[in-house]
Structure formats: structure tokens, C-alpha cells
Amino acid sequence: MKKSGLFLTTVAAASLLLTGCSVTTTPGGEGASAGGADDGTISIGFSQATQQSPFYVELGVGVQEAADAAGADLEYVDANGDVTKQNNDIEDLITKGVDVLLINPVDPQGIAQSIASAEAAGIPVVTVDRSAEGAIAHVGRDNVEMGKLVGEQVKEALGAEGGKIIEIQGDAGGTVAMDRSEGFHSVFEGDSSVNIVAGPYAEYIRSNAVTAMQDLLQSNSDVKVVYAHNDDMALGALQVLQENGRTDVLVAGVDGLMEAVDAIAEGNQYVATSLNDPIALGTVAAETALSAAAGEDVEAEIDAGTELVTKDNAGDLVGDTLFAQGGK
């Protein structure tokens, strides 16, 4: 695919921007302390679930850009998919006295005590992408709707004949994975011509999906469609299918990764994704956190919107960003 070089270069650049950001990054100078500077600068403590997916790397870029634009301090920490580390990170941010916490939870239930600690310290909590009880606001997108939109396009592509669908899942117990599964499954309720087979949890990581798909293809040679909870995993599945000459199997994902949008625009095997621009999401999340830190009223639920991408509109969305923009 023509964008693969861009994809790797962009991820590498974004990773360099965020790698090592467990210290405060301050517009206008290095080494300034977090915790609400004497000059009134707001400090945001951002606890990211992981950087092992391009979506989460770009989400962090959006948060950083919004913090920079507002002249705020940003303390960025990466849990690397470990809820214990995330709890420790959050407790450290509370100890440092940040003005507001922005959290992308590894496990929404697993950080309950940390959110309670923030509340006790008088620090408002805003969640992004995955919601958690106790946060005053959540910024995300309707993942049920995303799954439903993609499911409707897959159903149309399959036609009346139906067939077997393999579902490569995100993370066990994660609300995003559950919602994207729920929306997709809702389209096929009562349709006996379709059999959806639950694949493993590949943690939204392409290399995991490649390994999973190699096994799944061996045991499900009659597969007609692969639906993955994000485009990175769907592209991993597509790689395996093409390496095995299975260009007859349709593929669909979620998030609007530009590499997937390209594949939709250029061919007939990748049939759909739905937009989930992470930079825009991170920007809105940071702006919401800044408003909360300033004592302003914020909406409890903020939906950043989505849009279905198919061969009909993919060409209009192709660009040089890592994820297609839109869905507002």
C-alpha cells in the first residue's frame, strides 16, 4: 500500500515526540515544575493507557498540541498497558499537585481507587476514549455506533448469502471493545445466514493480529469476512490473507487509519472503517480538562462524532495524516 512508508515514519515521529514525557513539558522552557505555577499556568496530568498503538500515540499528540496552544504545563505518563503502573502513575501526579487529571484508563474499574484519591485531593478527573466512574467528564466517541455502521456495510457486502465472520477483538473487559462488538453484532441479530466467530484479544496491536490470523485462517478456511476492533488489527489480518492468496475474504475495521482508508479507496477487499481521528479527540479532551481545572462547567459526556468510510467516500478522505480527519 502506498502509504505504508508514511505510516511508519509518522508513528516514529509521533513516538519521539512523546517518548520520555514522564517529566513536565512546558511551553517556553524545560524543567518547570507541575502543580499550578505561581503565574497561574494550569498543569495537566495525562495518564495514557499505552503507546503500543498508533491511535494512542496520536491521541497524545492531540493532547500535547492543545496544552501547548493554551500555554499549559503537561505531565505525560505512559502506563504501557499495566493498570498497576497506571495507578502508581496517577498517585505520583496527585502528589505533584497537578490541577487536573486526564486519564485514558487501562482498566476503568481498576483505577477506581486512584480516582477516589484524586477526588479527595480536590483534583478533577476527565477521561478520554474509555470512561471510568468518578470522572466529572468523559470525552470519546460512540463506539456502539461505530461498530454498527461498519456492520451495516459488511452486511451489504456479504449479501443474502451470508457466511462466516471472524471478529478479532481489542482487549478483554474493555468498554471500547465491548461497545464495538455490541454495535457490530446488533446488525446481524436474527440473521441465521451469518455466523460470527469470536477471535482472540489482540490488544489493538497489528503484530498480535497477524499471529492470531495465521491460526484463525487455518481453522476457519470458510471465512468470508474479518472484522477487527481497530484498523491496525484489521490490516494485520489483511496482510495474512493476502500472503495466503485469500483476496476473496473481506476485511473491515474501526478508527479511520489512513492506511485503511487508502486500502478502501484502492481495492475491493477492505470494505469499511469508521472515523475516530485521535488528534481531534485529544484536543477536545485537553480543552475539556483545562476548562475543568479553571472551575468551569463541563458536559458529563462529550461525543466527538464519527462517520462511515466506504469506497464511495474514501478517496475524498485520503491525505497525508496518520488518521483520516472528519466525523464531526
Q: What is the mean pLDDT of residues 90-101?
A: 98
Domains of the chain: 4-141+278-297 (3.40.50.2300), 143-275+311-317 (3.40.50.2300)
Residue 141's pLDDT band, with cuts at 50, 70 and 90, is very high
In sign, the C-alpha dihedral spanning 312, 316, 320, 325 is: negative
Calculate the average pLDDT of the chain. 89
Give the other-Cβ count within 10 Å of 192's Cβ. 7
Contact 18, 76 (CB under 8 A): yes
More confident site: 45 or 17: 45
* Partners of residue 166 on adjacent β-strands: 197, 226
What is residue 175's predicted lDDT score, i.e. its pLDDT? 86
Q: Indicate the residue type of 262.
A: D
Residue with cell 499528540: 61
Contact 166, 227 (CB under 8 A): yes
Percentage with pLDDT > 90 across the chain: 83
Q: What is the mean pLDDT of residues 304-315?
A: 95
Q: What is the mean pLDDT of residues 19-45?
A: 51
Residue 173's pLDDT band, with cuts at 50, 70 and 90, is confident
How many whole angstroms separate alpha carbon 321 and alpha carbon 7? Answer: 9
Does the predicted TM-score (pTM) go above 0.75? yes
